[in-house]
Amino acid sequence: MYYRRLTRLITWQKMPASAHKTMQTTTQESTVVQKTRELCQAILDQPDLRSARQGIDAFMSDDAARAQYDGVMSKGQALQEKQQRSVPLTGEEISAFEKDKDALLKNPVARGFLDAQQEFHDVHKSINEYVSKTLELGRVPTEEDFESGECGHGCGCGHDHH
């Protein structure tokens, strides 16, 4: 261990100044990658997310639930495309879609999948908000930083941040 530190110190001193900056950036990136991996492990260790993952796995291995889900998604997409073309939807089309959607939501495997998707979406959104706010503020955000309801300047959300 001591030899490794000494070797790095000697190597560091022999390098031109421009290489020092590259090495510092690499070290910083390595720290960020390490902390990101730790975050990933913490996420995986969350009981709620393990349960959500099991819900997704159960859905993926259930051909009938997947077919039911695909059917509802296809019908929904077709209805949406029809609306975008300004073609009126019939009551029968809407009723058939609603009936299929309700049946999908009553299927416990499909419901578990949909709940798991929402859980992962919420975690992803929260992490993105914290990282974005940290980069925006130049510090770790507090709860108060999120209470304003605004994203901040340069967030890319499309809000007017004058």
- The pLDDT of residue 1: 42
Res. 106 pLDDT band, cuts 50 70 90: very high
**Has residue 127 got a pLDDT over 50?**
yes
Nearest C-alpha neighbor of 66 from the set 31, 107, 102, 96 = 107
Instruction: State residue 80's pLDDT score.
Output: 96
Burial of 58-95, coded b for 16+ CB within 10 Å and e otherwise, reads bbeebeebeebbeebeebeeebeeeeeeeeeeeeeeee
Which pLDDT value is given to residue 146? 87
Look at residue 129 and tell me whether its pLDDT is greater than 70.
yes
Residue 15 has pLDDT above 90, yes or no: no
pLDDT over threshold 70, residue 161: no
Q: What is the mean pLDDT of residues 55-84?
A: 97
Q: Across all residues in the chain, what is the average pLDDT?
A: 83
Predicted local distance difference test score (pLDDT) of residue 147: 85
Sign of the alpha-carbon dihedral angle for 104, 107, 111, 112: negative
pTM of the model: 0.67
Quickly state the pLDDT bin for 30 (edges 50, 70, 90): confident
